[in-house]
Amino acid sequence: MTYLAKPRFHHPKLPTNALGYTRRDYEGAVSTLCAGCGHDSISAAIIQACFELDLPPHRIAKLSGIGCSSKTPTYFLGASHGFNSVHGRMPSVLTGANLANRDLVYLGVSGDGDSASIGLGQFAHSIRRAVNMLYIVENNGVYGLTKGQFSATADKGSLSKRGVANHDEPIDLASMALLLGASFVARSFSGDKEQLVPLIKAALRHKGAAFIDCISPCVAFNNHPGSTKSFDFVREHNDAVNRLDVMVERAPIETEYAPGELVEVTQHDGTVLRLRKLDATYDPRDRGAAMAYLQQQSAKGEVVTGLLFVDPEAADLHDALSTVATPLNALDDAALVPGAKALDKLNASLR
């Protein structure tokens, strides 16, 4: 239905958020992806999360690489600046943008080809640099735009649409993110909005490198029997370790869960993450245990979802660089140019 222009009007009683924006103010152009594409659900979740967090759309910068997933920033947050960069290199562009203006919210959208194949290096280094961002990989294990080649996250033995088995080991980006020091790591499923929206909200409010690996089945090339990234497969093998509620301002906690089942994590900015534990033994504040759990479940063919790890006290790249609070792009001549007198002094030292 992409040939239809998106209507501008909306219901007069559409609910507004604290900024007076409706959900429509967070939307973008009509998607040109395939009908039923998991990516569109993720776009919808991003829209929902930003609306609920009362984020001013123009203060979000959305960046992507190349591929189906990287096209999606056109389909959400139309009032934000967007940057569709080059294949596999979104992380460096986002890093630079973040250095220039620390006051914006940075949303990096990528795919499994973009991040695990061509862009594995930049993915890794942006995570280990603790760039303050939400990095979402819309993971379908397949190259959509070039019509169905395996990506580096495709499971070994999984079948392509033509029935060919993948012989390479998969790259698990969530495990890598944990290993690389990401301070927020989650995995979710585009078909599970209840889980995904709170994770995006929590990640957007997280300070430091937040990573979400979102399984997002490709309806055109990777949703058939034998695929391990199909809607059916993920639904059958989804091992959710927790459910999340995000409270931006601390509201009275209703004790609806038995003690021991609820974990509360207060993030740097005061956001409270309330985790309803679905797995009694899983502690999302223990990086080592999280990594071990992921490996164990992966060996069993299970897809672990939920908030896998969070370090609420994480620092970011600007902390490491001791950058001034004023965004670097807002510093004026007086702050930047040392002037003629300083130069004369320097000249004198070179004689």
Residue 99 touching other proteins (CB under 8 A): yes
Instruction: Kindly tell me which of 1 and 334 has the beta carbon lying closer to other proteins.
Output: 334
Amino acid at 221: F
Residue 338 touching other proteins (CB under 8 A): yes
State the binding string over 304-333 for other proteins (x if CB under 8 A, else -). -------------xx--xxxxx--xxxx-x
| CA 154, 159, 160, 165 torsion-angle sign | positive
Q: How do beta strands 262-266 and 272-277 pair?
A: antiparallel
User: Position of tokens 């947050």?
Assistant: 77
Q: Give the span between the Cα atoms of 219 and 142, in whole angstroms.
A: 11
> What is the nearest approach in angstroms of other proteins to the Cβ of residue 317?
8
User: Position of tokens 């996250």?
Assistant: 153
Instruction: Kindly tell me which of 108 and 217 has the beta carbon lying closer to other proteins.
Output: 108
Residue 208 touching other proteins (CB under 8 A): no
Q: Give the span between the Cα atoms of 169 and 159, in whole angstroms.
A: 13
Applying CB under 8 A, what is the total number of residues that bind other proteins?
60
State the binding string over 29-68 for other proteins (x if CB under 8 A, else -). ---------------------------xxxx-x-x-----
String of b and e for 157-195 (b: at least 16 CB within 10 Å)?
ebbbbeeeebeeebbbbbbbbbebbbbbbbbbbbbbeeb
Instruction: Kindly tell me which of 125 and 243 has the beta carbon lying closer to other proteins.
Output: 125
Inter-helix orientation angle 193-204/38-52, to 10°:
50
Among 26, 39, 51, 89, binds other proteins (CB under 8 A): 89
By CB under 8 A, name the binding residues for other proteins. 56-59, 61, 63, 73-74, 78-86, 89, 91-101, 103-104, 121-122, 124-125, 129, 317-318, 321-325, 328-331, 333, 335-340, 342-343, 346-347, 350-351
